[in-house]
Amino acid sequence: AKMFFLLQPRLLLPVLVCLLCAFTWAQERNVILETFDFLRRGQIDANLENYDNNLQMEKEYDFIVVGAGTAGCAIAARLSENPKWKVLLLEAGGPESLIMDVPIVAHFLQLGEMNWKYRTQPSDRACLAMNNNRCNWPRGKVMGGSSVLNYMMYTRGNRRDYDRWAELGNVGWGWRDVLPYFKKYEGSNVPDADEDLVGRNGPVKVSYVNWRSKIADAFLEAVQQDGLQHRDYNGHIQNGVNYLHTTTRNSTRWSSNRAYLYPLKGKRRNLHVKKFALVTKVLIDPTTKTAYGIMVRTDGREHKILARREVIVSAGAINTPQLLMLSGVGPAQHLREIGIKPIVDLAVGFNLQDHTAPAVTFTTNATSLHFEDFADPTLVNRFNRQEGPYGSPGGCEAMAFWDLDHPQLKDGWPDIELFLVGGSMSSNPAISRAFGLKKIIYDSMFAEIEDKELNAFMIFPMILRPKSRGRIMLKSTDPQKYPLIYSNYYAHPYDVDISVRGVQKVFAEIEDKELNAFMIFPMILRPKSRGRIMLKSTDPQKYPLIYSN
C-alpha cells in the first residue's frame, strides 16, 4: 500500500473503484470495508494526514471542540490561529481516506464505517418504501464529518432565509451579516458566478464538474423553456437553473477536513486532534450553568479533559442534542424519565427538520450513468486528467429553483428545488442499499431497467422550507446507544402539497420540451403499465399521491 500511495495514488483510485463495482454486483459488502481499510493504511504510510494515534491529550485546553465535522474542522482551525490558545479537536470516527474523495463513489460511503448509519423510527406516513418503514439518515463519522459523506452540492440558501432568522431575534444572522463569511471561506472557480458576492481565495473549493451528460444539457434547456434563466443560483437571484456547484476541485471532493486541517499539518503545535474519541458527557457546573470540560472515551479508557474558556459542541444534528441531553441539558421531564438529573430545562431535540424529495424516474434513449461502465480504461485515463464521470458527485448534475406560487416573479423565494441525477436506482447497486429500499419495491420499479440494461435518469423535487417538525429523544443513558429519531415527515399538509406540486412540475418539464426527446416512459409505483401518470386525488393527503393506470 505504501508504495502505491507514495508513487501514483491517483492512478490507484480508479482501479479500486472498478474493483468495488465488480464485487458489489456480487453483493460482497465486506470487500467495500476491506478496500476502505486498505486505503486508510496506505494513507497512513504515505503520511497524507496529520495522524495522532500516539497523541497524549493534556488535562486542560483553552477550547475543546466536540466533532471534527463540516463546522468543527473550521472552528478548530480558526481558533488555533491564536498561538496563545490551546485547542483540542475530538472526533468519534477515523481518518478521511483517499477513496472518499472520489465523487462518484458517494453512495458507497454510506455502507462503510464512516457513516453512523442512523435510522428514523418506523412511520405509517413516510418511508413506506424503505425497510421496516424506516429511512436511513447518513451522518459522517469521520474527519470532515458529513462533508466527506454528502453529495457535494454547494448551495448557500436564499437570502430571505437568513433575514428571517435575524427577524426572529438571531442578531448577526441576516444575509448581509453572513455574506462576508461566505466570501471568506469560498475558493470558487465558478466562472459565471456573481462576482460581487463570491469568494475566490478561501479554503473551501467550489467548482463545476468537468463532465456532464446530454441529459443534463437537455434538463437546462427544458427548464429555460419554462421561463427560468440560466444563472448563478448562489448569487443575487436564486430562481433559476444551472449545472451543479460542487465542493470539489480537479474532480476531487473538497471536505472540511481537506480544506481546513490538511494545510495545518505540522504547523500548529497548539492544535491537538484526536480521532476515535467519543465524547460521552459535557461537564456543567449546576450552579453557574457553565461548561467546564468533557468526558471522552478513547484508547479503551475514559478521560476527563477541562476547558479554560469554552466547550464547543459541533457534533451534528443528531449527536449534538443527544450529547446535550446526556449532559443534563434538555426537556426536564424527558431527562427524568430516562434517569438523568436536569441541569437546564430546554427544548433540546425538538424542531427537527429535514427536506424530503421523492425520486421521479424516467427511462431514456440517451446514455446515462451505469456504475459497471467505470471499468472502462478510457475513463480511468480521463480521471487522471481530472475529467470524466468519476468527478460526478454521485451522479448529480444540475439544479433548478422555483417559487411555485409566483413563477413570473424574477426574484421570488423558491419553495421547491429540482435536482437531476444522470442515473437511477439500478445504475449503481449501492444506491438502493444506501436508501434502504425494500426488495419488493426495487423489483417492482427497477428490475426491468436492470434486466434490460436500460438507461434512466431521476429528478428529485425537494422541499426547501418544510413545516413538519420531528424530534430526537434519548433511548438510554448509554452514550453508545443511538437516540430515537422521529422524522414526522409529511405531518403538515403544506409539505404534502409542495411535494405533489413538485412532482407535477417534474412532468411539466418533460412534456413538449427538450427532455421529451430523451424520455421513453415515466416510472412511478407501477412502471410496467406504461400508463398515464396522474394524481389519484386532488386532496394532497390522500395516499398514494400518484399512480399509473
Among 78, 130, 136, smallest CA distance to 107 is for 136
> What one-character DSSP code corresponds to residue 245?
P
Q: Count CA atoms within 13 Å of residue 549 on its CB side.
A: 5
175-185 and 159-167 helices cross at what angle (nearest 10)?
A: 130
Alpha-carbon gap, residue 19 to 17, rounded angstroms: 5
Phi, psi of 36, deg, nearest 5: -60, -40
As a whole number of angstroms, the distance between CA 512 and CA 438 comes to 34
In this structure, are residues 506 and 459 in contact, taking their beta carbons and an 8 Å threshold?
yes
First to last CA, the chain: 55
Contacts by 127-131, CB closer than 8 A, 24 or more apart: 127/487, 127/489, 129/437, 129/438, 129/441, 130/435, 130/436, 130/437, 130/438, 131/436, 131/437, 131/438
Helix (H, G, I), strand (E, B) or coil at 406: coil
Q: How many CB atoms lie within 10 A of CB 201?
A: 10
Assess whether the previous peptide bond of 544 is cis (omega < 30° from 0).
Answer: yes
User: Which of the 8 DSSP states describes residue 244?
Assistant: P
Determine the Cα–Cα distance for residues 315 and 239; give it in Å rounded to an integer: 32
> Is 142 within any annotated ligand binding site?
yes
What the block records as the C-alpha cell of 511 is: 412534456
- Contacts of residue 10, defined as CB under 8 A and 6 or more positions apart, other chains included, come to 383, 384
In the Cβ-directed half-sphere of 330, how many Cα atoms lie within 13 Å?
27
- Rounded CA gap, 503 and 492, in Å? 18
What CA–CA distance (Å, rounded) separates 216 from 243?
A: 8
Cα 163 to Cα 175: distance, rounded to the nearest angstrom: 6
Beta strands in 373-470 (DSSP E): 396-402, 416-421, 455-463
Neighbour-count burial of 52, counting CB atoms closer than 10 A to its CB (0-12 exposed, 13-18 middle, 19+ buried):
middle
For 514, how many CA atoms within 13 A lie in the half-sphere containing its CB?
13
CA dihedral over 298, 301, 306, 311, signed as positive or negative: positive
CA 87 to chain centre: 27
Show binding-site residues.
Answer: 142, 279
Show binding-site residues for FAD.
Answer: 142, 279
